[in-house]
Structure 1
Amino acid sequence: MRLLIFKVNQLGDNVVFLPVVQQIARQHPQWHITVCTSPVAAPLYYVACPGVEVREFVTRDFNSVWRHPLTMLRLARKFMTTPQDLCLLGNDQGNVAHLLAWLSGAPQSAGAFVRERYLGGLLRQRVQVDFSQPDPWQNWSIARALVPELPEEIPPPDLSAFGREDHGGVFIHPGASRDYKKWPLENFIHLANRLSAHSRVLWMNQGSAAEDQLSPEVRRISPGTLADLIRQIAGARLFIGNNSGPMNLASALGTPGIIFNGPSTDVWDPFWHRDRFEILRDPALACQPCDHLTHPVNACLNTTEPMACMKRWSVDHVHEMALKKLA
């Protein structure tokens, strides 16, 4: 059996999707599985899913390739030359993925039912997904519609193949995929400096001149390989960061964390080891959450008090929370 999977998007989206691929590969080792994903997420599958074929596509280019007919034609031919038996689409894949799934010739295909997906009718199964449920449940329900022998329980991603660096410190990742999802960088810097007075602190560099204000005691890490990032989060006593891909890694690894939820709904909360996380959100804010269940809004919509959901949390407050978690 040949199974083609589309999950061409962010790192965090693929972290929570990884159990689908791992479990199918575990239960059907004789299948030939091909995963189409983004370059930033591809190492997840190379290392954690040995034997799975990985095809890399830049997310933005992949989703907009229909604007370039000749490029689209060349891409389509790649999928038409190797017919598939099954095709699985993640819960958030767009029209291009739907078209390529159809062109693959797979007699069985499944993806989420989304009215805005104009080419959704090309799929054999359009699964009614409850978008108020966390992403792992959404993807798991689609996968079980195509591969019904999958268990009901969703296992956490197995990232043990990456190893761990047992530094025992606080890992701070101040980045996120969108600016409106970030606690102010200067706050992260002040927090790191205060924590470094009594704890080992690792800081993921963001390429900002403001980071020169970090204490010499803070160990600054340049963005390297995904494997390095996973090893360092695995060996941390505490992870502090925004709602992001590294947050999902911490959730999968069971590393305790403090997370600035910002505009995100609780659908994007840590799914595994939820009891180990403190999620910073203020339900009293009328604008929170501003993101929709199916997609982000991409900008702060609060014109009266911009970025209110992030500015609610002082450095003093987060520092006190971190000390309690470390204790």
Structure 2
Amino acid sequence: MKKKILALLLIGIMMGVLTGCSGSDSKSTSNASGSDKKTLYFIPIVDTGAYWSPMKKAAEERAKELGYNLVFKTSPPSESQKNEKHIGFLQEAITSNAVGIAIAPMDPDMFDRKVKEAKDAGVSIVTFDADVKTKDNRAAYVGTDNKLAGEELGKKAAEYLKGKGIKNGKIALAAVNLTQTTMTYRQEGIRKGFEGVMGADAQSFSWLEPIQDNDQASESKRQLEGQITSNPDLIAVFSLGSEGPDTGVMEAIKSQGKAGKIYHFGFDYTPTWENGIKEGLITGIVDQDSYAIGKTIIDVMDKIIKKEKIQDNYPVAVKWVEANQIVEYGKDKQKQFTNETK
């Protein structure tokens, strides 16, 4: 009997030791992933489309290569409280003890305070696609200068119209969200570049009320059809990025029988453009290398965490591509993307 009691006591002691070891191991996992990997948060505006998808893929692959756990957070374009939701993602990253946050702030003022809170909490912040109001609140910016990108598109559009002998007319613009920082900068840049090339003739062009479609092609199509009907001298339209306005603008031009008569200038490569080339529904685009942006974001955050020297700004230039070059450009871009992700 004594032997049985002694055996039971020994079993109890061993169980206690094992339980204690298990508890110690669980305490060592303190980040959002539940692993020993350091956690980074990646918060883009959306995660779909030819611009955002390669960026996401590049960030995921580079983070994996460098040994980080990457938490990806975003919301759909139609989200009614998008700014507030993404500010909530920032707070989640702070609470989850993330070592770094990459965010595309949609409003430079609204995000400024929360970014500062993250900085004060010891979390390194990298902005991309757009920036916050106070540059000291983040460590670096990665991406396109949207004013300069817009200016390049405005210049190329003006040069194209001048080459056609066009010296007057009305101009339309379409975007997902007109108050989004990237879109306000692009509009400003487009007008500056256009007027700079047109010179004195710029006064003979007038700009219509910009169209906002919340990434719904049917809405940009409806609004642009109305503008075409009301303005027979509408000569050009700019779509400022994303599938909604890209598709909606092309459909409106086609439905109104204005293919080849209203010139369409867009932002960023997407296979969608190929559907409108033969019918004259797209004239030319400026494209950003979003894969390079995604990779650079993670590289910069890695340098910050390792306390290496970084730049304040990592610019990524845009490339002008005319309609007759878009198909080949798309093939080359896809080859580059495949090679880079092997």
TM-score by length of 2: 0.33
Which has the bigger relative contact order, CA under 8 A and spacing at least 6?
A: 2
Structure holding more helix per residue:
2
Q: Which has the larger radius of gyration?
A: 2
